[in-house]
Amino acid sequence: MLPPDLSIGRRFVAAHGAPGAFLVGATGAHFYGFPSADSDLDLKGIHIAPTREVVSLTAPPDAVDFLGVFEGVEIDYTSQELAVALRLLLKGNGNMLERILSPFQVLDSPAARELAALAQGSVSQRFFHHYRGFFGRTRDDWRSAQPRTVKGLLYAYRSALTGIHLLRTGECVGDVTQLAPLYGFERVAGLVARKAGGREHGAMTDAGEFDADLEGLDPLLEAAREASPLPAEASNVEALDSFLVRVREERFE
């Protein structure tokens, strides 16, 4: 069952989504497994620009963005044009993979479901660099923050554990409450409860107790890459290219 405010996301996309949108997934706190009552709504999509614009001298913009309040909820919306999205996916961009495979889709379509299957087939070791970089930034941000917060710590755990699990299994799972027990970080559940209780922005009095965990996540990421059964790079480039061409032909304007 969808969290209640995703219905707001559906209405937002209907009113303000990019023209040609065919996929919009909720990421952010919903995808990460720790939404709070005051969480904003991160909506990330993919749209198809009119073919006439693609082949004209003036190319369509790569992305459409919106940051503001809709029906009382802060919305952070970005949609990439399909060709841009597929190039990012093939480069190992985890943000693109997560929006396509998010279980919280506020805009769905047959093309979106077909792309989800193709995206799953494009998972490769290239995603290591995305998740290692993302983890490093969130970890360093949390360490330098004043005060250090539960929300910042959960972002660090989430980015590392999603990458570890993806490299080990090929599954894109964002929910830290599912991942943490699998890899020996059971106390993350307590952090999620603290955030849900409204203490996500309050200073942590026990922040130092989690430093060792964060130090151990980087070696786990490295080990996951070294032992990964995934191919070095995506093996379905031709299938993705065929999908792009076919969708453009079907939606010629």
CATH number of the domain encompassing residue 22: 3.30.460.10
- Full-model pTM: 0.93
In which region does residue 95 sit, left (phi positive, over 0), alpha (psi from -120 to 50) or beta (all else)?
alpha
Q: Do 71 and 106 lie in a common domain? A: yes
Q: Do 135 and 204 lie in a common domain? A: yes
DSSP letter (8 states) at residue 63 = E
Q: Could you tell me if residue 139 is inside a domain? A: yes
Count of structural domains, the chain = 2
Residue 110, Cα to own-chain centre: how many angstroms? 21
Q: Do 143 and 187 lie in a common domain? A: yes
Q: Do 114 and 68 lie in a common domain? A: yes
Q: Could you tell me if residue 61 is inside a domain? A: yes
Q: Do 112 and 142 lie in a common domain? A: no
Q: Could you tell me if residue 240 is inside a domain? A: yes
- The kind and range of the H/E element at 120 are helix 110-121
Q: Could you tell me if residue 1 is inside a domain? A: no
Q: What is the pLDDT of residue 1?
A: 40
Q: Do 77 and 10 lie in a common domain? A: yes
Q: Could you tell me if residue 95 is inside a domain? A: yes
From CA 94, how far away is CA 89, in angstroms rounded? Answer: 7
Per-residue pLDDT of the chain (253 residues; tens, 9 = 90+): 445 578 999 999 999 999 999 999 999 999 999 988 778 899 999 999 988 888 888 888 899 999 999 999 999 999 999 999 999 999 999 999 999 999 999 998 999 999 999 999 999 999 999 999 999 999 999 999 988 999 999 999 999 999 999 999 999 999 999 999 999 999 999 999 988 877 556 678 888 899 989 999 999 999 999 999 999 999 999 999 999 999 998 876 5
Q: Do 206 and 244 lie in a common domain? A: no
Q: Do 85 and 185 lie in a common domain? A: no
b/e map 85-100, b = 16+ CB within 10 Å = bbbbbbebbbebbbbb
Q: Do 198 and 182 lie in a common domain? A: yes
What is the domain range of residue 219?
127-226
Q: Could you tell me if residue 46 is inside a domain? A: yes
HSE at residue 243, side-chain half, CA atoms within 13 A, is 21
Q: Could you tell me if residue 117 is inside a domain? A: yes
Q: Do 239 and 117 lie in a common domain? A: yes
Q: What is the pLDDT of residue 202?
A: 63
Q: What is the pLDDT of residue 156?
A: 96
Write out the two tokens for 98. 């997560």
Q: Do 11 and 112 lie in a common domain? A: yes
Q: Do 106 and 132 lie in a common domain? A: no
